[in-house]
Amino acid sequence: MISPDRSSLLLNLILVLPLLLFLPGYALTRTFLKIPVSVGLLEKFFLRIFLSCGVTSYVGLGITLFSEFSGQILVCGVVVFSFLLFLAKRFRLSQGLGPIEISWNDFFIVLMVGLAVILFFWPSEEIGSLFSQGIQLGREGTLFQGKGLLFFMKGEVPGSIWIAAFDVFFGVHLALFVSPLFGVLSVLALFFCVIKRFDAMAAVSAGLFLATSLTQIYFARCPQSLMLAQFFVLASFYCYQLYEEEKEIGFLGGALLLFVLAVFARWEMYPVLLFMVAAYFVNRILSQRKLNISMILRCVSCIFVVAGWVWVLKEFPQISSVFPCSFLVFSFGGVLFFLWRNFKIEDGSLLALFILSPFLAFKGAPKESINLISLSGWIPLLIPALSLWSGYALSIFSCTGKIAQGFSIFALVLTVFFPLYTHWDFLGSREDQGLIKFYQNLRGFFLPNDLVFSSQSDLASLFQQLFGLKVYSLPPEGLDFQFQKEIRLWLKDGGKAYVMSENGEPKMDGFIIKLQSVEKLETQGMDVSSLLPERKILKEKTVKIYEAE
């Protein structure tokens, strides 16, 4: 049975997890990389966390792929990593690092992290099926007979691989914090990406927009892989920017490795790389010809790219069986990144984005005709891209005069805090009694030697996944004669047999069943009715326990 000891969970969150996320990155940066002098104190700290997440995730991926040998893989990984560091230390050249000073950017980083932590934690337990599937995948390497790892790599069960990896490292409770953790890190990664290219106003605005996005908050609380893919893409962009500054090959390698992790987290991410490479070569060709292409022509060319892909999908529908529908979405994300890389400060047309972006991006609840779940494929790139546009447009507008500067600050505060005020019921909810805790209490009713049946097969498999408790499903055609005989012998020897049911009184041929307990789950959970009008929110759940005689 899983121990719901919150004190040990809190200890892991405060001590163990930060150490795991920091130490490998510290060793890598001290050994292989020369961090630019322009990198501040907190940025340097989080850069090491970004790289550590990559190292830890690769180890976790190996553990998941070969779950039967997880212990040996973990030990070998630590030994090999330590040996490589030892060799690198022996031959490492001295590196002169400049002094590091605390700046205002550090204050804004703390502000964004604080907001994100408050809004992203605690995670929701309503999507318990994805969570439990990830646990079984990590422990047994498969979920359904005949469907192994490829079934999950295709994204049919989002997030299972990474939740399983964290379950191997920390156990079932801490695995719930995978998505919120990487959601917070995504906010930081976006901030560092923007401040490298633009100014502090744009970076702070973009980070705050992303940290307070209702869509971002919702998916950061769910045990899926969207936040992981988002973080790995943004961290990859950030490492690539450092490579452009210092021409340090280690940052280029880090960018590539992080992007590979993004593809593993959400396999639909690979088209982003294709469009970025295409945009890079187009940019090189145009620059060599010394063409002064305007903002309008850039937008038109990008529209033709998207329109061309739409035409290809329409004329050749068989391509849809090879590429997912979200290919178009991430193509659009790649186009946004191409535009961002080519923006100039004097592009006055950006002011139009100030009017459109904050409202288009993510502020306020979607209309009733839009299902938020249908936007899930957009999260890793589109929401950060829109946050970037909003923040950058706001910073450009604020430079046009004092009145515009005051209006920009007012718009920033209004855009960030008004949705928080109007949706506080959704944002302030916490899963103090969720599905997993409910099943833990239900598990406590049975002794280790009890014989347990269930009239629902999914309930039986759930108990097997979470607690390792063997629960037999009652077949519709009834128990066979031999099994009935074994149960009677078990009861005659003093054993007990129980039947769990969610749908009325079950039938167990040859036995008399008596109601022993009724377990109810009553929780407000995450009330997302304003965001998901079509979704039925779990308000209560009842499981009845019968004893067989």
pLDDT attached to residue 435: 56
pLDDT attached to residue 369: 30
pLDDT attached to residue 70: 47
Q: Report, as ranges of residue numbers, the positions in the chain whose pLDDT lies below 50.
A: 1-7, 62-70, 72-73, 77, 84, 87-88, 91-102, 125-160, 289-293, 320-341, 343-375, 431-433, 523-538
202 alpha-carbon distance from chain centroid: 24
DSSP summary character for residue 547:
E
318-326: Cβ within 8 A, 24+ apart: 323/271, 324/155, 324/268, 324/377, 325/377, 326/268, 326/377, 326/378
- Answer left, alpha or beta for residue 247, where phi above 0 means left and psi between -120 and 50 means alpha: left
pLDDT attached to residue 279: 54
Contact 477, 485 (CB under 8 A): no
Contact 56, 185 (CB under 8 A): no
Question: How many other C-beta atoms are found inside a 10 Å radius of the C-beta of residue 409?
Answer: 14
The CA–CA distances, whole Å, from 336 to 266, 331, 333, 384, 385 equal 19, 9, 5, 10, 7
pLDDT attached to residue 142: 44
The span from the CA of 385 to the CA of 364, in Å, is: 17
The CA–CA distances, whole Å, from 269 to 154, 157, 274, 385, 515 equal 12, 16, 10, 15, 51
